[in-house]
């Protein structure tokens, strides 16, 4: 779907056709890490209460025992407009334009609404969610009757009449039953000010939203509208040809997660917004964005659509990251869609975190702190699986308890625990954050290592440890044995725990005493970890220089993907999941994924052998696959493949590559994979205990590239052109 116009700093669209509406609403999603809204029109029609979605980071509610959903929040964007007695939606629209500005985060819509008598009205809305104060947002409406004098009826406020449409974890099942999450809603409105406090029926979790209206001195006769779940007001405004009527709605949002008295905080902040006004708030958010771009931008001499799409990927990641909140993470569809019930996966630590780690280490730390804060639940969960230590859930929400509803993935895709340990290790390696090591990481590494100790099964005949009943990143491998990716990272986890114990004993004896006591640590534990590290089964075929994905992979029935796959739509729509799992095909990168994450552990020959063997068998039925293949292609010097895969990942949502952006929202892991392909693949940057290396391999579309990264408390700039790379430390 190529309906978007991409410039270096904007994503635009000039069509408002009904069949592209959901797609545009996904692509034009906005957020500030605290809250997110889909790119719907403030004055658009409300067909179902779940379609106009607004989400708050970390705000979940139970929809059945033990299972949560990300809660669709009251809609603060809403404007109802009637021109000369008829709702604006009944008018013919021309000159339609939508623009998402990546520089300041504004989303602008413009069109001319014309009625049968030829009366033309210019309508414009601008919305932003402030990056300066993430509790605030603003919507501006501008209406200009071009050729008539008449009447404009406006109604606005906050609409609590919203519901959830919980989505099944099974990608093939569509739910139609909505869930009424909200219980009582307290509403109030006076002149140009009002708000509501809604409370979830089950857990009594509250949100308070306050609005203030600025009618630019219009002095209109506003009347309160307190209707069912709606708190707002309306005015009938006589309008004259050629005049523009501007109404700003300034909004403040607080929830039970923000401490006591959210309604008072919202009211106070809304008053502050009123003082600052729309333009002042816009100035503040633009400045905040400018600061974010200073560290996160990747500037390229490249076609405009490549530059704009690269920025779009970064922009969406920043928009959906709860940045300064260490109690929430980033969902697989961020704050842009309720798919996967808003849950957090390995997508965060393995796909998205690297960008934050290299550009905003504090944001990366907060993502890891979320895992630290849910460690006690992970310990409790492990007990539920009759295992010691900590078992992180495949799908997590506001707790560390498993949210995945399917047995094979929920119980067997256990690499998530090792992924978190890997991310902790990368964070420590790149930041040298001793405090985080001492206060959080050591405990996380030890508890996760304990889980692996018993998750491996000893085989006395072979004197080896097997990892049974496991599912790797390639979810088409069935439930298998000794998935290389999982075993490798589990062993890394065990090693990191052993090193952490040694380091704690040496560098922090006091703190170690307390931690060892808290965890009832036994001195013999590291030896048990070492034994598993040494004897865990990892299959390697010396003759072929090939690392084997798992014990059953080579027994599967061969399938030529080209015989079945004509496009990028996942094959599980054509072949049943059950059958797919017995074919020798991969859903997404698995051994190659491991090699992308641990480049120093494998030789070039091994990487090339893995590429030659696995790439032709990979279906890329997950959006997580393209970017990692681009990265690996660049590393094994497969330039054509690198470009081809990169383009898929880069434009994944902008061109609706998988044909599900409309119904599922933006794929946040793919955004992160795109960044990794660009920086770790094309720019060839890699930082580990050996320091910084940068060996670029630019595709023909990128002539020059410039970006920043952070390493051990310093900032660096990388400049790449046809002559090679220059890495320079920046003066602070
Ligand atoms: C992928 C997983 C991913 C999940 C959420 C699945 O289709 O196979 O690797 O974590 O989607 O994005």
Task: Tell me how far the alpha carbon of residue 391 lies from the centroid of ligand 1, in angstroms.
Answer: 19
Is the pLDDT at 89 greater than 90, yes or no? no
From residue 310, alpha-carbon distances to 305, 484, 678 in Å are 8, 32, 9
Nearest CA to ligand 1 atom 9: 473
Q: What is the pLDDT of residue 430?
A: 98
Q: Could you tell me whether strands 150-159 and 298-301 are parallel, antiparallel, or unpaired per DSSP bridges?
A: unpaired
Which carries the bigger pLDDT value, residue 199 or residue 732? 199
From residue 416, alpha-carbon distances to 226, 391, 402, 419, 555 in Å are 47, 9, 11, 5, 26
Task: Provide the phi-psi class of 520: left if phi over 0, else alpha when psi is between -120 and 50, else beta.
Answer: left
Nearest to 475 by CA among 556, 570, 555, 590: 590
**DSSP string over 295-341:** HH-EEEES-HHHHHHHHHHHHHHHHH--TT-TT----TTTTT--GGG
Task: Choose one of 338, 473, 580, 624 to mutate for the ligand 1 pocket test, by most ligand atoms within 8 angstroms of C-beta.
Answer: 624
Would the CB of 589 count as within 6 Å of ligand 1? no
Neighbours of 518 (CB within 10 A): 9
Nearest CA to ligand 1 atom 5: 332
Q: What is the pLDDT of residue 105?
A: 98
Task: Tell me how far the alpha carbon of residue 448 lies from the centroid of ligand 1, in angstroms.
Answer: 22
Would the CB of 473 count as within 6 Å of ligand 1? yes
pLDDT band at 49 (very low <50, low <70, confident <90, very high): low
Instruction: Supply φ then ψ for residue 429, to 5 degrees.
Output: -60, -40
Q: What is the pLDDT of residue 168?
A: 80
Instruction: Supply φ then ψ for residue 96, to 5 degrees.
Output: -70, 135
What average pLDDT does this structure show over 473-477?
96
Tell which atom from ligand 1 comes closest to the C-alpha of 588.
8
Would the CB of 345 count as within 6 Å of ligand 1? yes
Task: Tell me how far the alpha carbon of residue 355 lies from the centroid of ligand 1, in angstroms.
Answer: 19
Task: Tell me how far the alpha carbon of residue 1 lies from the centroid of ligand 1, in angstroms.
Answer: 23
Give, in degrees to the nearest 5, the angle at Cα 598 between 597 and 601: 160
Find the radius of gyration of the CA atoms of the chain. 27
What average pLDDT does this structure show over 436-461?
98
Task: Tell me how far the alpha carbon of residue 49 lies from the centroid of ligand 1, in angstroms.
Answer: 27
Would the CB of 472 count as within 6 Å of ligand 1? no
Q: What is the pLDDT of residue 227?
A: 87
Is the pLDDT at 374 greater than 70, yes or no? yes
**DSSP string over 632-679:** HHHHTT-HHHHHHHHHHHHTTTTTTTTS-HHHH---HHHHHHHHHIII
Task: Tell me how far the alpha carbon of residue 100 lies from the centroid of ligand 1, in angstroms.
Answer: 27
Tell which atom from ligand 1 comes closest to the C-alpha of 345.
10
Would the CB of 622 count as within 6 Å of ligand 1? yes
Q: For helices 442-455 and 361-373, what crossing angle results, to 10°? A: 50
Q: Is 76 helix (H, G, I), strand (E, B) or coil?
A: coil
Task: Tell me how far the alpha carbon of residue 622 lies from the centroid of ligand 1, in angstroms.
Answer: 6
Nearest CA to ligand 1 atom 6: 622
Tell which atom from ligand 1 comes closest to the C-alpha of 171.
7
Neighbouring-strand partners of residue 230? 159, 227
What average pLDDT does this structure show over 193-217?
98
Question: Burial level of 163, CB count in 10 A (0-12/13-18/19+)?
Answer: middle
Task: Choose one of 343, 485, 622 to mutate for the ligand 1 pocket test, by most ligand atoms within 8 angstroms of C-beta.
Answer: 622
Report whether 250 contacts 281 (CB < 8 A): yes
Task: Tell me how far the alpha carbon of residue 471 lies from the centroid of ligand 1, in angstroms.
Answer: 12
Nearest to 135 by CA among 312, 3, 309, 259: 259
Nearest to 182 by CA among 228, 136, 148: 228
Q: Is 151 helix (H, G, I), strand (E, B) or coil?
A: strand
Q: Tell me what percent of the chain is helix, strand and coil, each rounded to the nearest 5.
A: 40, 25, 35
Would the CB of 182 count as within 6 Å of ligand 1? no
Report whether 354 contacts 431 (CB < 8 A): no
Task: Tell me how far the alpha carbon of residue 714 lies from the centroid of ligand 1, in angstroms.
Answer: 34
Name the residue with tokens 């490549």.
306
Task: Tell me how far the alpha carbon of residue 149 lies from the centroid of ligand 1, in angstroms.
Answer: 55
Task: Tell me how far the alpha carbon of residue 669 lies from the centroid of ligand 1, in angstroms.
Answer: 9
Nearest to 379 by CA among 468, 440, 443: 443
Tell which atom from ligand 1 comes closest to the C-alpha of 668.
12
Cα separation, 408 vs 169, in Å, equals 12
Q: What is the pLDDT of residue 559?
A: 95
Name the residue with tokens 């890997």.
422
Tell which atom from ligand 1 comes closest to the C-alpha of 340.
5
Name the residue with tokens 């309160």.
224
Element (H or E) spanning 714, and its range?
strand 714-721
Cα separation, 136 vs 105, in Å, equals 13
Neighbours of 169 (CB within 10 A): 18
Task: Tell me how far the alpha carbon of residue 567 lies from the centroid of ligand 1, in angstroms.
Answer: 19
Cα separation, 449 vs 519, in Å, equals 12
What average pLDDT does this structure show over 253-280?
97
pLDDT digits (tens, 9 = 90+) for 315-340: 999 999 999 999 999 999 999 998 99
Neighbouring-strand partners of residue 86? 83
Tell which atom from ligand 1 comes closest to the C-alpha of 587.
8
pLDDT digits (tens, 9 = 90+) for 705-727: 999 999 999 999 999 999 999 99
Q: What is the pLDDT of residue 493?
A: 98
pLDDT band at 48 (very low <50, low <70, confident <90, very high): low
What average pLDDT does this structure show over 231-242?
97
Name the residue with tokens 């032709």.
616
Nearest to 298 by CA among 323, 318, 270: 318
Cα separation, 712 vs 110, in Å, equals 46
Instruction: Write out the two tokens for 693.
Output: 């290396």
Task: Choose one of 669, 671, 672, 673 to mutate for the ligand 1 pocket test, by most ligand atoms within 8 angstroms of C-beta.
Answer: 669
What average pLDDT does this structure show over 345-364?
98
Is the pLDDT at 172 greater than 80, yes or no? no
Question: Burial level of 243, CB count in 10 A (0-12/13-18/19+)?
Answer: exposed
pLDDT digits (tens, 9 = 90+) for 672-693: 999 999 999 999 999 999 999 9
Q: What is the pLDDT of residue 524?
A: 98
Nearest CA to ligand 1 atom 8: 622
Task: Tell me how far the alpha carbon of residue 542 lies from the centroid of ligand 1, in angstroms.
Answer: 32
Task: Tell me how far the alpha carbon of residue 625 lies from the centroid of ligand 1, in angstroms.
Answer: 10
Task: Tell me how far the alpha carbon of residue 409 lies from the centroid of ligand 1, in angstroms.
Answer: 10
Would the CB of 624 count as within 6 Å of ligand 1? yes
Tell which atom from ligand 1 comes closest to the C-alpha of 346.
10
Neighbours of 604 (CB within 10 A): 11
Would the CB of 476 count as within 6 Å of ligand 1? no
pLDDT digits (tens, 9 = 90+) for 123-151: 999 999 999 999 999 999 999 999 999 99
Q: Is 366 helix (H, G, I), strand (E, B) or coil?
A: helix
Tell which atom from ligand 1 comes closest to the C-alpha of 394.
10
Cα separation, 658 vs 215, in Å, equals 44
Instruction: Supply φ then ψ for residue 116, to 5 degrees.
Output: -65, -25
Task: Tell me how far the alpha carbon of residue 703 lies from the centroid of ligand 1, in angstroms.
Answer: 33
pLDDT digits (tens, 9 = 90+) for 617-649: 999 999 999 999 999 999 999 999 999 999 999
Nearest CA to ligand 1 atom 7: 622
Would the CB of 346 count as within 6 Å of ligand 1? yes
Is the pLDDT at 508 greater than 90, yes or no? yes
Question: Burial level of 72, CB count in 10 A (0-12/13-18/19+)?
Answer: buried
Report whether 47 contacts 163 (CB < 8 A): no
Cα separation, 413 vs 623, in Å, equals 18
Mean pLDDT of the chain: 96
Tell which atom from ligand 1 comes closest to the C-alpha of 347.
10
Task: Choose one of 171, 332, 403 to mutate for the ligand 1 pocket test, by most ligand atoms within 8 angstroms of C-beta.
Answer: 332
Element (H or E) spanning 164, and its range?
none
Q: What is the pLDDT of residue 71?
A: 97
Report whether 24 contacts 11 (CB < 8 A): no
Would the CB of 332 count as within 6 Å of ligand 1? yes
pLDDT digits (tens, 9 = 90+) for 539-596: 999 999 999 999 999 999 999 999 998 899 999 989 998 999 999 999 999 999 999 9
pLDDT digits (tens, 9 = 90+) for 385-435: 999 999 999 999 999 999 998 999 999 999 999 999 999 999 999 999 999
Is the pLDDT at 468 greater than 80, yes or no? yes
Neighbours of 435 (CB within 10 A): 9
User: What is the 8-class DSSP label of residue 179?
Assistant: B
Instruction: Write out the two tokens for 652.
Output: 């994944």
pLDDT band at 44 (very low <50, low <70, confident <90, very high): confident
Cα separation, 426 vs 727, in Å, equals 20
Would the CB of 671 count as within 6 Å of ligand 1? no
Tell which atom from ligand 1 comes closest to the C-alpha of 332.
12
Report whether 198 contacts 265 (CB < 8 A): no
Task: Tell me how far the alpha carbon of residue 673 lies from the centroid of ligand 1, in angstroms.
Answer: 13
pLDDT digits (tens, 9 = 90+) for 103-123: 999 999 999 999 999 999 999
Is the pLDDT at 46 greater than 80, yes or no? no
Q: Is 194 helix (H, G, I), strand (E, B) or coil?
A: strand
Task: Tell me how far the alpha carbon of residue 338 lies from the centroid of ligand 1, in angstroms.
Answer: 15
Task: Tell me how far the alpha carbon of residue 666 lies from the centroid of ligand 1, in angstroms.
Answer: 13
Question: Burial level of 651, CB count in 10 A (0-12/13-18/19+)?
Answer: buried
């Amino acid at each position: 779907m190529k309906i978007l116009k991409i410039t270096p700093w904007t994503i635009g669209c000039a069509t408002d056709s009904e069949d592209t509406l959901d797609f545009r609403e996904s692509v034009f999603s906005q957020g500030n890490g605290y809250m997110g809204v889909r790119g719907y029109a403030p004055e658009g029609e409300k067909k179902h209460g779940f379609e106009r979605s607004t989400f708050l980071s970390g705000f979940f509610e139970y929809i059945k025992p033990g299972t949560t959903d990300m809660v669709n929040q009251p809609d603060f964007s809403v404007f109802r407009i009637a021109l000369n007695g008829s709702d604006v939606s009944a008018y013919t629209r021309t000159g339609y334009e939508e623009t998402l500005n990546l520089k300041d985060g504004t989303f602008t819509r413009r069109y001319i609404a014309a009625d049968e008598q030829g009366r033309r009205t210019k309508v414009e809305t601008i919305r932003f969610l402030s990056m300066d104060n993430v509790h605030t947002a603003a919507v501006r409406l501008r209406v200009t009757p071009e050729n008539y004098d008449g009447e404009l009826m406006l109604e606005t406020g906050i609409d609590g009449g919203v519901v959830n449409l919980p989505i099944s974890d099974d990608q093939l099942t569509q739910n139609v039953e909505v869930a009424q999450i909200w219980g009582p809603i307290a509403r109030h409105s006076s002149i140009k000010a009002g708000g509501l406090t809604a409370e979830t029926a089950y857990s009594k979790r509250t949100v308070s939203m306050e609005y203030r209206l600025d009618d630019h001195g219009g002095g209109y006769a506003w009347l309160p509208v307190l209707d069912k779940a709606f708190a707002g007001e309306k005015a009938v405004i006589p309008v004259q040809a050629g005049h523009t009527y501007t109404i700003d709605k300034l909004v403040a949002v607080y929830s039970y997660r923000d401490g006591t008295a959210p309604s008072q905080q919202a009211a106070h902040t809304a008053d502050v917004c009123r003082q600052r006004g729309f333009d002042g708030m816009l100035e503040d958010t633009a400045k905040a964005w400018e600061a974010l771009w200073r560290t996160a931008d990747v500037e390229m001499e490249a076609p405009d659509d490549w530059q704009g799409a690269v920025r779009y990927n970064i922009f969406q990641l920043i928009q959906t990251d709860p940045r300064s909140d260490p109690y929430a993470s980033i969902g697989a569809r961020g704050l842009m869609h309720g798919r996967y019930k808003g849950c957090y996966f390995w997508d965060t630590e393995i796909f998205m975190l690297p960008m934050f780690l290299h550009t905003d280490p504090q944001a990366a730390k907060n993502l890891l702190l979320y895992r630290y804060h849910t460690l006690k639940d992970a310990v409790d969960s492990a007990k539920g699986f009759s295992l010691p230590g900590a078992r992180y859930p495949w799908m997590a929400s506001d707790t560390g308890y498993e949210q995945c509803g399917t047995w094979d993935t929920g119980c067997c895709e256990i690499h998530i625990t090792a992924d978190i340990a890997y991310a902790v290790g990368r964070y420590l390696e790149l930041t040298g954050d001793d405090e985080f090591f001492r206060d959080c990481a050591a405990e996380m590494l030890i508890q996760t290592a304990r889980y692996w100790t018993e998750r491996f099964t000893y085989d006395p005949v072979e004197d080896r440890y097997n990892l049974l009943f496991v599912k790797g990143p390639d979810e088409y491998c069935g439930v298998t044995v000794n998935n290389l990716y999982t075993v490798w990272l589990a062993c890394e986890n065990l090693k990191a725990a052993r090193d952490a114990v040694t380091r704690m004993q040496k560098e922090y004896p006091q703190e170690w005493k307390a931690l060892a006591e808290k965890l009832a640590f036994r001195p013999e534990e590291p030896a048990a970890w070492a034994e598993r590290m040494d004897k865990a089964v990892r299959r390697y075929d010396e003759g072929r220089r090939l690392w084997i994905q798992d014990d059953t992979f080579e027994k599967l029935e061969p399938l030529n993907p080209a015989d079945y796959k004509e496009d990028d739509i996942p094959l599980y729509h054509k072949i049943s999941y059950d059958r797919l799992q017995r074919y020798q095909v991969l859903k997404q990168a698995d051994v190659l994924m491991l090699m992308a994450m641990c480049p120093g552990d494998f030789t070039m020959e091994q990487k090339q052998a893995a590429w030659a063997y696995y790439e032709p068998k990979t279906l890329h039925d997950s959006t997580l696959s393209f970017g990692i293949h681009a990265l690996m292609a660049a590393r094994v010097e497969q330039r054509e493949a690198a470009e081809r895969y990169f383009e898929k990942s880069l434009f994944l949502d902008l061109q609706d590559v998988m044909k599900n952006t409309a119904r599922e929202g933006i794929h946040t892991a793919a955004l992160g994979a795109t960044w990794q392909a660009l920086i770790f693949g094309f720019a060839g940057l890699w930082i580990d205990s050996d320091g910084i290396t940068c060996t670029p391999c630019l595709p023909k579309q990128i002539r020059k590239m410039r970006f920043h990264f952070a390493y051990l408390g310093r900032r660096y700039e990388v400049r790449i052109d046809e002559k090679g790379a220059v890495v320079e430390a920046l003066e602070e």
